[in-house]
Amino acid sequence: MDAAITTPEAAAVPRPVRRRRLLPRQLSGSPLALAALAVVAGWIAVAVLAPSLAPYRPLAQSIAGRLQPPGPAHWLGTDPLGRDILSRILYGARLSIPVGVIAVALAVVLGTIIGGTAGFLGGAADEAIMRGTDLMLAFPTVILALVITAALGAGIRNAIIAIMVAWWPSYARLVRGLVLALRDREYVQAARAVGGSRLRIFLRHVLPGTISPVVILSTLDVGHAILTFASLSFLGLGPPPQIPEWGSMIAAGRNYLDQWWISTFPGVAILTLVLAMNVLGDGLRDLLDPRFRSR
């Protein structure tokens, strides 16, 4: 063990060879993780197949069929405009999953550029960039996202921008920590010894090493991003109300407390998907963090 492996960031740097063998075997040994994997795969399938699975069109309104309780015609009931809740939940997956993935991916790219630059430049520039990042972290995510979406206007694209702006600082921190940990590894010293330029060493040897832990850790955040998107949408800062989205579907039930099904089922959809993603993420995180690995 070299001296660099004392920070948590350094501990998260996986050994490429071991990791590839370790992850699937340990995960496949856990029935909980397998169940979670099945749920996530199921939701992805729902998102892809929604048009053929949904019994009704998600936008089809029916004044006569409004506020129907769950029954044989509408398994999960209908909303105040008579739209089928099951169909809207199925279509909702088509929106929430891509939004979560895109928001996290953008935050990772931005965080990698900023954190990587800080780690590469070092010194005063590093200090300045990282203090700026700390400042961003002092603003609670939803408050930050709230201000941004409110100012840019409600909508899917602006909600994604808001999540990206609120989240990049944690990835910047992570990438910078990894860069600092990798910079002193033997293979980087070797590259330096054979005369590689600083920039070339950074781009060819250091930065690629950060990619796999960052990608792994960020996939775990997709569930969290889906939850944040639903919160913004619940507050009325997401897509327009006719678009089937889980958070705004829950909000639609706020004034219909006796019609419990309007809010309950979209919430169950969010909970199952996000929980499954978090169970998977939790297992992966334990594997990456040697402190919690079974000895």
Binding footprint of other proteins on the chain (CB under 8 A): 32, 131-132, 134-144, 146-148, 150-153, 223, 227, 230-231, 234-236, 247, 250-251, 253-254, 257-258, 260, 263-264, 266-267, 270-271, 274-275, 277-279, 282, 291-292, 294
Task: Give 206 or 252: the residue with its C-beta nearer to other proteins.
Answer: 252
Please, what is the minimum distance in Å from the beta carbon of residue 148 to other proteins? Answer: 7
Write the DSSP assignment of 107-135 as a string of letters: HHHHHHHHHHHHHHH-HHHHHHHHHHHHH
Output the smallest distance, CB 144 to other proteins, in A.
Answer: 7
CB of 21 to other proteins, least distance (A): 22
Residue with tokens 């199921």: 42
Q: Between 186 and 258, name the residue whose CB sits nearer to other proteins.
A: 258
- CA neighbor of 37 nearest in space, from 292, 285, 225, 281: 281
Among candidate residues 218, 192, 203, the one with its CA nearest the CA of residue 119: 203
How far apart are CB 44 and other proteins at their closest, in Å? 17
> Of 18 and 291, which CB lies nearer to other proteins in the complex structure?
291
Does residue 74 contact residue 64 with C-beta atoms inside 8 Å? Answer: no
Which 8-state DSSP code applies to residue 56?
Answer: S
Q: What is the DSSP letter of 45?
A: H
Q: What's the closest the beta carbon of residue 271 comes to other proteins, in angstroms?
A: 6
HEC assignment per residue over 239-282: CCCCCCCHHHHHHHCCCCCCCCHHHHHHHHHHHHHHHHHHHHHH
Q: Which is nearer to other proteins, 120 or 265 (CB)?
A: 265
Q: In terms of CB distance, is 85 or 227 closer to other proteins?
A: 227
